[in-house]
Amino acid sequence: MLKKDIRSYSCEAIENFMVENGEKKFRGKQLYGWIVKGIQSFDEAINMPKSLKEKLEATFILDNIKIAKRVTSDKDRTTKYLYELQDGHIIEGVLMSYKHGYSICVSTQVGCKMGCTFCASAIGGIERNLTAGEIIGQLYTVEKDMGIKISNVVLMGSGEPLDNYEEVLQFLKLVNDPKGYNLGMRHITLSTCGIADKIKDLADENMQLTLAISLHCANDEERTALMPVNKKYNLTALMKACHYYTDVTNRRITFEYGLIAGVNDTEERAKELGKLIQGMLCHVNLIPINQVIERDYQPSKESSIAKFKKVLEGYGVTTTIRRELGSDINAACGQLRKNHLDD
């Protein structure tokens, strides 16, 4: 039987556990304080009685993310992690170092069921959702491992965050809790393939996080061929949800557009995109697609990317080109996990 994941609990939920188990309520706040410090065993909570630590040990798992492998890029110090979960599943994550601090890319599911044709995370389908505690556990684990404090979080590892809505929402609340981890919402980016209904739900939460939409194509027929989610939520439904999101939150949306040579990088595609998002509170991040061995996709040439950018700017759309990090260690999109599973 899997133990319950204490890192998923809010301070209040831990307080309730204490009271229900005949302990003083203040022990809840005490333990929560230790958890957000990243302790890996209940023994580290030095001001708690031994009997309570034993009870906690028997009921909960604390160290829910164990490092299975770590590879650091010689080029830019980007570090790719493979983590092992309580039930033996493997997930991945990346730590990036920028001038303004450390940014971590976290996974939200083991595998993914969205089936985007260019994404290696989709190849094996989905195994299960991560718990909120397993998502925040990735932060605790890396901070301990590196002796650092993380300043930005992107939900862009494997999995579709909005397909694991409840746990991801709980994660966001935990990571943002001023009495807990206390990371500002503006330091968090959630990336989705476009589950329109959930985008609306997220808008209603009115949090100040950054929403990134993996758009990749502004033509319904071709987007469906790349991203099966487009069958259920086509561009009209997606854009309606995006407009709702910017109206409610007044936050600028990031559209991610991975350029695949000869597939979605033509001038015509750039014009379609320009027309679709012209005048919106948004910007576009162009990403030369990372080659996935299993698929026959090549990244666009620099000249095509520059041209694509120019066309978009002609529509008044702010456009950036994403800097590539960790290219020498497969620090992108499920590649390392896949290699590991194939070993």
Torsion angle, alpha carbons of 229, 230, 235, 239, to 10: 0
- Reported as type and span, the H/E element at residue 93 is strand 90-98
> Does residue 167 bind ligand SAH (CB under 6 A)?
no
CB nearer to ligand SAH: pick between 27 and 251: 251
Q: Directed axis angle between helix 267-277 and helix 302-314, to 10°?
A: 30
Supply 89's token pair. 């599943």
65, burial (CB in 10 Å: exposed 0-12, middle 13-18, buried 19+):
buried
By CB under 6 A, tell whether 119 contacts ligand SAH: yes
User: Is 333 considered catalytic here?
Assistant: yes
How many angstroms from the chain centroid is the CA of residue 202?
Answer: 15
Q: Determine the size of the site formed for ligand SAH (CB under 6 A).
A: 17
Q: Which stretch binds ligand SAH (CB under 6 A): 125-133, 142-150, 240-248, 287-295?
A: 287-295
Considering only residues 129, 191, 249, 264, which one is a binding residue for ligand SAH as defined by CB under 6 A? 191
Residues 246 to 265 in contact with ligand SAH, rule: CB under 6 A: 256, 258
Q: Give the separation between CA 241 and CA 274, rounded to whole angstroms.
A: 18
Task: Pick from 214, 230, 300, 330 the residue near ligand SAH by CB under 6 A.
Answer: 214
Q: Are 195 and 160 in contact (CB under 8 A)?
A: yes
- Candidate residues 8, 30, 170, 290; the one interacting with ligand SAH per rule CB under 6 A: 290
Single-letter amino acid, residue 167 = E
Report the residue number, 6 or 126, with the smaller CB distance to ligand SAH.
Answer: 126
Query: Is 119 in the active site?
Result: no
Q: How many angstroms separate the Cα of 229 from the Cα of each of 106, 108, 153, 248? A: 21, 18, 25, 24
CB of 129 to ligand SAH, least distance (A): 13
Asked whether position 193 contacts ligand SAH by CB under 6 A, the answer is yes
Q: Which residues are catalytic?
A: 92, 333
Which residues sit at the interface with ligand SAH, rule CB under 6 A?
116, 118-119, 156, 160, 191-193, 214, 256, 258, 287, 289-290, 292, 332-333
